[in-house]
Structure 1
Amino acid sequence: MYAIIGATGHIGNRVTDILLNKGEKVRVIGRDAARLQQYVNRGAVPAVGDLKDTAFLTTAFQGATAVFAMIPPSYTASTFRAYQDVVGISIATAILDVGVTHVVNLSSQGAELPRGTGPIVGLHDQEERLDVLRGVNVLHLRPTYFMENLLANVPVIHDYGYAGSAVRGDIKFAMIATADIAERVAAHLLARDFSGSSHEDLLGQRDLSLQEAFTIIGRRIGISDLVYRQIPYDEFEQALLGTGMSRDVCRLFVEMSEALNRGLFAVNRPRNAATTTPTSIEQFAEVFAEVYRGAQHRHAA
C-alpha cells in the first residue's frame, strides 16, 4: 500500500495514476471526496480529511509500505509559514507514530538554505523535521522551478498581450515539468532504493531564461513577438493580491522571486544524467497552448 498526500495535485495525481496502472494498492489522501472519486473508481482507497489533523493522518498512513509526503500550498493562509509548520509537524508525527519506514518527501531547490527564499524556507524546516525521525528512510526530492508556473501567464497574455513576473527575464535557471517529478517519485516509491536521509536534485531538461521560454511558447500559440517583462516587486505583489492570495503569501512569493534573481537557487546548478529529466520547454509549450486555447474559448463565450 502506498499513501499519497496531495493525490489531486499536479504531481500526486500522476504518481497515483502510475501506481494504479501498475496494479499497486494506493491510498489517496485529500480534503475533497469528489475529486478523489476518479481514483476510487479505479480501486484506490480514499482518505478524506485535513492534513493538520494528526489523528486522521495516522489512520491514513496505517499499513503503508511507503508515503509520498508534501505540504500542499494554502494561498489564502494569513500566516503561511505557520500553516506549513502545523501541516509539517502533523505529517512527521503521523509517520513516526505509525512506523512508516520509507518516505519520499517533495522539497525544492533552495531547501538547503535556512532563510531568504520565501515559502521554500518551510520546506527546509520540513526536511529537518523528517531527518530526525528514527527508523525512517527519507528521500527529499528537490525539483527546480515548475514549468506549470508559467501557466499563470495565460490570462496575462490574453488581457495584456505580454507575459511577466518579478523574476528577471534574462537569467538562466533550471525548469522542470511536474510530470517528470511524478515519474521519479513513483520510481522511488516502488523501488524504495534509498536509506537514511538523502536528497536528490531534479533540474529539468535544460536551463533557460524566461525570455527564451516565452519566445518558444509564443511561437506555439501564434504570437511570434511575445514579450516577457520583469514586473517591479511592489507591482507584482499587488497583482498577486488581486488573485485572492493573502498578503503574507504574496510577500513570500516576492521574496522567493528576489532570491531567484540573486541566483540563490536553481541557477548554475551542476547537472548530470541523474538530475536531468526529459520534458523540454518545447514539449511543455504544447501543454501551454492547450490551456491557452481553452481560455481563449472561454473569453469568446
Structure 2
Amino acid sequence: MFAIIGATGNVGFSTSSALRRAGVPVRAILRDTAKAARLSEIGCEIAMADLQDAGSLAKAIGDADAVQIIVPVSPRAKDPAGDLTRSIESVVDALAKARPKRVLAISDYGAHVADDIGMPSVFHGLEIRLGGLDAHVLVLRSAEHMHNWARVFPMAVASGSLPTFQDPLGMAQPTIAAQDLGVIAANLLLRPDSGRDLEVIHAEGPRRYSANDVAAAVSQLSGRVVHAQAVPRSRWKETFERTMPASLADLLIKANDAKNEGGLVDIAPNAGEVCYGTTELIDALRALVPPV
C-alpha cells in the first residue's frame, strides 16, 4: 500500500495516478471530502485526516508500506510560516507513530543550505527531522514549479509586462512541471530499496529557463508581445504583502534574494542523483495563459 499525503494537489494527484497505472494500491489521505471524487475514480482508497492532527494522520497512514508527504503552505493562515512549521512537526510525529518502511518527502532546491534563505530553510528543517525516522527516507528536492508563474499571466497579457522578482532577467533558473515531479516521485517509490537510510534526489525540467524565456512563452501563447520586467528590490516587501501575511512574504523575499545571488537555490554540491522531467515550459503554460 502506498499512502499519499496531499493527494489532491498537482504533484500528489500525479503521483497517485502514476502508481495506479502501475497497478499498485494507493491510499489518498485528504482533509476535504469534496476533493475525493477524482481520486476515487482512478481507484484510490480514501482516508481522511487533518495535517496538524498527528494521531488522525498516523491512523490514516495505517499499514501503508510507503508514504509520500507534501507539506503545503496555507497562504490564508494568519501566520503561514508558523502554520507550515506546525504541519511539519505533526507529519513527522505521525510517521514516527505509523512506522512505514519507506517515506518520500517532497523538499526544495536549496534545502542543503544551513544559512537562513527563507522557504528552502523550512525544508532544511524538515529534512533534519526526517533523518531521525526508522525508515528508508527518500528526499526529493524539487525545483520551482512552472505553474507558479500563472498568477501574473493575466496582468502580463493585459499590460505587455511580466513582473518578476528574478534579476537578472536572463539568468536561467531550475524549474519543473508539477506533473513531471509526481511521476518522478512514483518511479522512486516503486524502485527497489537501495539499502541506505537516507537518499537525496533532485528533480528539475528538461532545461532551465529565465524570466525572459517565460515572457517569450507568454508572448507566443497569447499572441501579444510581453516583456519581463524586474520588480525593484525596494518594492518587494510591499508587493508581497499586498496578497499575503508578513511571515510568508519574509520567506519568499529571502528565497528570491538567494535565487538572484545564484548557486544557492540549486542542486547541492556533490549531489548524487538528478532526475529530469520532460515537459517544456511552453507546454506547461499552455493551459494557463489567458487568451487576448
Q: Distance in 2 between matches of 1:118 and 1:78?
A: 18
Q: Distance in 2 between matches of 1:193 and 1:153?
A: 42
Question: Which amino acid in structure 2 is aligned with residue 57 of structure 1?
Answer: L
What CA RMSD, in Å, does the superposition of the two structures yield over aligned residues? 2.3
User: Which piece of structure 1 moves more, 39-48 or 137-146?
Assistant: 39-48
Question: Which amino acid in structure 2 is aligned with residue 209 of structure 1?
Answer: S
State the partner residue of 2:44. Answer: 44
Closer, same or farther: CA 254–28 of 1 in aligned 2, 3 Å: same
Q: CA deviation at 1:256?
A: 0.9
Q: CA deviation at 1:99?
A: 1.5
The C-alpha deviation readout for 1:53-93, integer Å capped at 9, x for no partner, is 00111111111110001211111333333222211111111
Q: CA deviation at 1:22?
A: 2.5
Q: Give yes or no for the alignment of 1:206 onto 2:207.
A: yes
Question: Which amino acid in structure 2 is aligned with residue 248 of structure 1?
Answer: S
Percent identity reads 24
Q: Distance in 2 between matches of 1:271 and 1:230?
A: 32
State the partner residue of 2:85. Answer: 85
Question: Which amino acid in structure 2 is aligned with residue 291 of structure 1?
Answer: L
Q: Distance in 2 between matches of 1:89 and 1:170?
A: 38
State the partner residue of 2:24. Answer: 24
The C-alpha deviation readout for 1:20-48, integer Å capped at 9, x for no partner, is 22222111112211112211233312222
Q: Distance in 2 between matches of 1:285 and 1:254?
A: 26
Q: How many residues align?
A: 290
Q: CA deviation at 1:264?
A: 4.2
Question: Which amino acid in structure 1 is aligned with residue 117 of structure 2?
Answer: T
Q: CA deviation at 1:213?
A: 2.8
State the partner residue of 1:157. Answer: 156
Q: What SS does the aligned partner of 1:111 have?
A: coil
Q: Distance in 1 between matches of 2:282 and 2:207?
A: 15
TM (norm. structure 2) is: 0.90
Closer, same or farther: CA 113–273 of 1 in aligned 2, 3 Å: closer
The C-alpha deviation readout for 1:156-183, integer Å capped at 9, x for no partner, is 2134221112121122222211122111
State the partner residue of 1:292. Answer: 289
Q: Distance in 1 between matches of 2:268 and 2:223?
A: 33
The C-alpha deviation readout for 1:268-290, integer Å capped at 9, x for no partner, is 87899952514353xx3134232
User: Gapped runs of 5+ residues in structure 1?
Assistant: none
Q: Distance in 1 between matches of 2:129 and 2:160?
A: 44
State the partner residue of 2:132. Answer: 132
State the partner residue of 1:4. Answer: 4
Q: Distance in 1 between matches of 2:279 and 2:42?
A: 31
State the partner residue of 2:120. Answer: 120
The C-alpha deviation readout for 1:174-208, integer Å capped at 9, x for no partner, is 22111221111001112243430120111321223
Q: Distance in 2 between matches of 1:280 and 1:237?
A: 32
Q: What SS does the aligned partner of 2:150 have?
A: helix
TM (norm. structure 1) is: 0.88
State the partner residue of 2:248. Answer: 249
Q: Give yes or no for the alignment of 1:107 onto 2:104.
A: no
Q: CA deviation at 1:234?
A: 4.5
Moved over 6 A (4+): 268-273
Q: Distance in 2 between matches of 1:52 and 1:173?
A: 33
